[in-house]
Structure 1
């Protein structure tokens, strides 16, 4: 306590007026609780995760405990701490963020304290208001001990829940990687993890994460609509989602690890589809660059499929590497030509170039690579070579 703190209560003092005030407010709690609950849910939107009736019951019990403690000038009892620990575990299971749980206790205790102050007459020398102010230390003891017990139980429950979920996730991913999605226990595992086995799955992959990063990501995704399970698998972090947009997962990942390379798979149905979309996402990840946009398999499937064969394809496609490195404007024009209907004028408008400049650059590309982009063999070789070179399939190349 600082020098400005109110004096400690004396056991010889007559506390009957304060006891009468607390008893009167306690009798009105069934009506007051609705307003206090409204305020908590207004200030802490995450509480929409908690059923209203259950929330009101918890607020009522906490307010009753505080009022009883003020009457007897005591802190929380062991039984009251046991109850709040149970509440902390339940809020963890409901997916409520810990900071929201703690904030709710502060708001609830603040509201009941303001009700007491408004009725106590703090300016009355002989009224209960003066005594109430001297019990600030008791109220703070309640806030500290109750929130501490709730947070401890919440974290214990979260760790246990994460351990069970992570074990199931590893088993599920192992089955998918082993290409045994049709095994009977795979459907049971999927249901245990919250998936509909016959539903649509999509995978999102990134380089492997730390355990702390994965724990934070799981917590964020658990608060979203849909199902998302993630774990490291070899050098990759794999998230398999259902009923959740890939963009939601990507945003959560990039919020935690900015500039993260990310690949996404096709949305595929059933457990065989879950296995296939992981392969999609890992193939797309091979093309993703640090800080660049996430690479979707459906937009890069050809280069992603050919990337593992880059060594075999190098004699055919490596002619793109040197010219692209030395003359990036040529590579840009080749891509622009393919993206704009193979029209010189449309490509010029898109790249802010004169059509004759576009024509010159395409001819120069042909001279350097031997590929004529006006033909299917030349265009396909150019685009595949550029795509694989950009992904680093052919290794570093001298720009000189």
Structure 2
């Protein structure tokens, strides 16, 4: 006795429902025949989807419409690759779990550099919206598939940009270390300006170098944020226990070139950055006109850092020029030259009386009366000449620390003068 057709259909339907997704039915309860038909339909409309998506991108994303034709074409290829990849993933999601990452293989490197992660997510959103609109009425299983796949694409995009950012960060760190090392060693070449530009240096005008110790827990991002708030840009170099900052003035946030606002002295900037360094001495080199000239500031700050312990009362930070006596005693030729050129020669060129008075004042323990007796002048004359000394060179001989600096300059200047006189005397005179 044969079974009625209606009973056969009913039994088949109940068996299909019983087996569920693991049985004859495919993804989301769709039978294999229905899934094959859906896949064929998706392949037929994939070209239309790519065309509509490109049109929607032009209409809804202003930055996309402004892109050069070559880059717009590359974005279109990425969108088309995403649609094709979805069809493949929908056909067999288990066999290619990471097929979403292949979408970005169609993007040239320059596209990944010119399109930000935010813009990429906007591209994904528009593509998903267009696809969802076209799939309306084709079943909830297909809609769930596109939502799940869009999530995979978003994570794949984040992974691509995260790896690119990590690689860029490592490259920047190596380049920054190379630039700082070139500044410290003074071995700058014609490639230094291009390397500085590649780092995105925003500094303009004066630059100085700050040297201290590396803290146990070094937070480079906090140091950069603090520098930006102070209106400066920094290059950071970590050399073992030594931390080096190359500081350059930058445009303050919210300020224009016509209204730059007040600029903090570098010493005040160093005080604000002091918390980013470890314990120990902190030495600030003298300002120089531009970053390419920073090697002279670096030499001064490094020399000062090496002898800072010789000044018991050294502030933090201390200017390298305030350590000129210690640097000169340690054999720093730059310190010797600075002392002679900034103190001895200006005084000598202005008046020999100023040099004589300063010598006598320092030799007599900074006593006005003893100096006046030695020079056979009134004490007020000594006061007047010391005031003129301060006006000419900027240092006040009445302070103990500045007195040490001035006396060292006088000693070095007199040695240099004696050497020059001996050299002139050794030159043979003809015609006698």
Q: TM-score, structure 2 length as denominator?
A: 0.45
Compare relative contact order (CA 8 Å, sep 6+) and give the higher one, 1 or 2. 1
User: Radius of gyration: which is bigger?
Assistant: 2
